[in-house]
Chains A and B, each alone.
Chain A
């Protein structure tokens, strides 16, 4: 009898799905993108995914065994962490990168706080942040061109015709960032009235490159661009996201406000010709935005529970992502923006608490 009375902290949501069922639902939703990653980048992407999952599960089991706690690997959350971590590293990293990343995600990001449900930040993203800060050379170099595509997402024929071979060793956002920098430099030179033919030639190339990027929507959508294992194919990620939405495992507030904020802000500020000259579609389709918005910002543990809180959470993620993409040191800011917003969740929940039913403000 006693076991049937559950005493737990809010939110008290009655739902027939168990944690296990939801976690395996998330695994299923990630499968299309995983298969896509292996298709585009080859067998090494499969190795990255397998190693990351194994490392996450083994780390969790090992720590729980050593500390004599119940072993919770059967709930599937470590598998999800492993897959998400693998999705966030470049396909050609050495074997120990996903292994250490997953181990860090579980051993520092999850278990010490009390395990699933208590971690303040998304463990997979924490693992990625750790890897990026520790081994930047492995985490920022993309060498594998996707099947039938180029690293930068620019069509192969166009690259040849513009003589742009020099910029093929970068992801679309990398190209965007460097070329935009060159254009700003060139605008300064134009304003000062000085002559600089070398820079002018570079600026022409940069203009070409940026317009080519804007013409590469199809490549970005299908995933024929360079990038991390699971982030490139918007199409395959959306299939998984639709499944999660259909199953009602994730809501639409966070992803839509997140993506919407990025679109509006990049349209406003991302252009090189002043306000409203940016290319929002390019920014929404490139980098890890779709993966982050649908699969990581919506993590049940680390996102707000209140409807209003979720909207603010999505807007905050979008603002930070755009700031990092446009003025920060890294070409992509999805992982840091979600991690930073994870930390604001308790405050967001507190300040967006819905009005208690039947409560009237005292006059």
Chain B
């Protein structure tokens, strides 16, 4: 097992959104602007790294039968930290992400990595896995949100980019737009893979 591959698999080969199709609730809900997407990506990455490290540290002492509640408590601790820090230092972002910050607790990518990787592997590998997966998640959210914000609102990072005559495709920043954009990206990446394997 090479360190590099543990880190890089989260970007493409096992990208949590496009390949594992996990964590769709925040992906669909907060990808309506690039700011939201990156804010959510960074918050989830922090929680993912920290929970992976702690879970990996305590993996030998955790009784098998109650491991899930223990993982949840670990994750919830870091989510609370993120929640309070964000409310204190980035109140605007905190307000626009709303309920989806506390909901990071039940983000299945984080519990999934704790269960599938950190609970069985050494600390440093778990750290790399968390970092790679977190960045992969952030990357997925960001490219979805670029399409949605640019076409749905005519802006990127809140800065208007389209000519004034452009009439935004409102649907794309509404919930159906999230499903459509995600579906088209999933199709595109599957098509790329099929083409490469052929």
B-binding residues in A (CB < 8 A): 108, 112, 130, 133-136, 138
Is B180 in contact with A133, judged by CB distance below 8 angstroms?
no
Shortest Cβ gap from B23 to chain A (Å):
24
Residues in B with CB closer than 8 Å to A135 are 167, 169-170
Residue pair A108, B180 in contact (C-beta under 8 Å)? yes
Please name all residues of chain A whose beta carbon is closer than 8 Å to the beta carbon of B170 when the two chains form the complex: 133-136
Give chain B's interface secondary structure class. helix
Complex interface: chain B residues within 8 A of A134 (CB): 168-172
Closest B residue by C-beta to A100:
B169
Residues on B lying within 8 angstroms of A by beta carbon are 167-172, 174, 176, 180, 187
What is the total of A-B residue contacts with beta carbons within 8 Å?
A: 17
A112 neighbours in B (Cβ, 8 Å): 187
Contact residues in B for A133 (Cβ distance below 8 Å): 170-171, 174, 176
User: Nearest 9 A-B pairs (CB), nearest first?
Assistant: A134-B171, A133-B171, A134-B169, A134-B170, A130-B171, A135-B167, A133-B174, A133-B170, A133-B176
User: A63 → chain B, closest Cβ, in Å?
Assistant: 13
In whole angstroms, how far apart are the Cα atoms of A276 and B49 in the complex? 64
Q: Once the chains are docked, how many angstroms separate the CA of A108 from the CA of B179?
A: 12
> For residue A136, which residues in chain B have a CB less than 8 angstroms away from its CB?
170
Residues of B within 8 A of A130 (CB): 171
17 A-B residue pairings within 8 Å (CB atoms): A108-B180, A112-B187, A130-B171, A133-B170, A133-B171, A133-B174, A133-B176, A134-B168, A134-B169, A134-B170, A134-B171, A134-B172, A135-B167, A135-B169, A135-B170, A136-B170, A138-B167
Bound Cα distance A135, B174 (Å): 12
A329 to chain B, nearest CB (A): 14
Known pairs A133-B171, A134-B169, A136-B170 / 6 extra A-B pairs, C-beta < 8 Å: A112-B187, A130-B171, A133-B170, A133-B176, A134-B171, A135-B170
A18 to B13, CA, bound (A): 46
Q: How far is the CA of A133 from the CA of B167 in the complex (A)?
A: 13
Beta-carbon nearest neighbor of A133 in chain B: B171
Residues of B within 8 A of A108 (CB): 180
Please report the C-alpha to C-alpha distance between residue A310 and residue B100 in the assembled complex, in whole angstroms: 42
- Chain A residues with CB below 8 A from B169, complex form: 134-135
Rounded to whole Å, the gap between the CB of A359 and the closest CB of chain B is: 41
Q: How far is the CA of A112 from the CA of B172 in the complex (A)?
A: 19
Closest to A94 in B: B167
Please, how many angstroms separate the alpha-carbon atoms of A134 and B176 in the complex?
A: 11
Distance between A115 CB and nearest chain B CB, rounded to angstroms = 15
A55 to chain B, nearest CB (A): 16
In the complex formed, the residue of A with least CB distance to B170 is A134
User: Shortest Cβ distance from B173 into chain A, in angstroms?
Assistant: 10
Chain B residue with the shortest CB-CB distance to A112:
B187
A343 smallest CB distance to B (angstroms): 14
Docked CA distance A130–B176 (Å)? 9
Max chain B Cβ within 10 angstroms of own Cβ: one of A108, A134, A136, A138: A134
Q: Kindly state the separation between the CA atoms of A133 and B173 in the bound complex, as whole angstroms.
A: 10
What is the bound-complex CA distance between A296 and B137, given in angstroms? 41
> Which of B168, B169, B180, B187: most chain A Cβ within 10 A?
B169
User: How far is the CB of B110 from the nearest CB of chain A, in Å?
Assistant: 32
Q: Chain A: which residue is nearest B191 at the CB level? A: A67
For the complex formed, measure the closest distance between the CB of B193 and the CB atoms of chain A, giving whole angstroms.
Answer: 16
CA distance A112 to B186 in the complex (A): 13
CB distance from A173 to the nearest CB of B (A): 22
Closest chain A CB from B103 CB (angstroms): 26
Distance of A136 Cα from B171 Cα, bound (Å): 10
B171 contact set on A, CB distance < 8 A: 130, 133-134
B92 vs chain A, min Cβ distance (A): 27
Cα A83 to Cα B114 with chains together (Å): 54
Query: How far, in Å, is A137 (CB) from chain B's closest CB?
Result: 8
- B174 — which chain A residues lie within 8 A by C-beta? 133
**Minimum C-beta distance from B183 to chain A (A):** 9
Which of chain A's residues has its CB closest to B151's CB?
A134
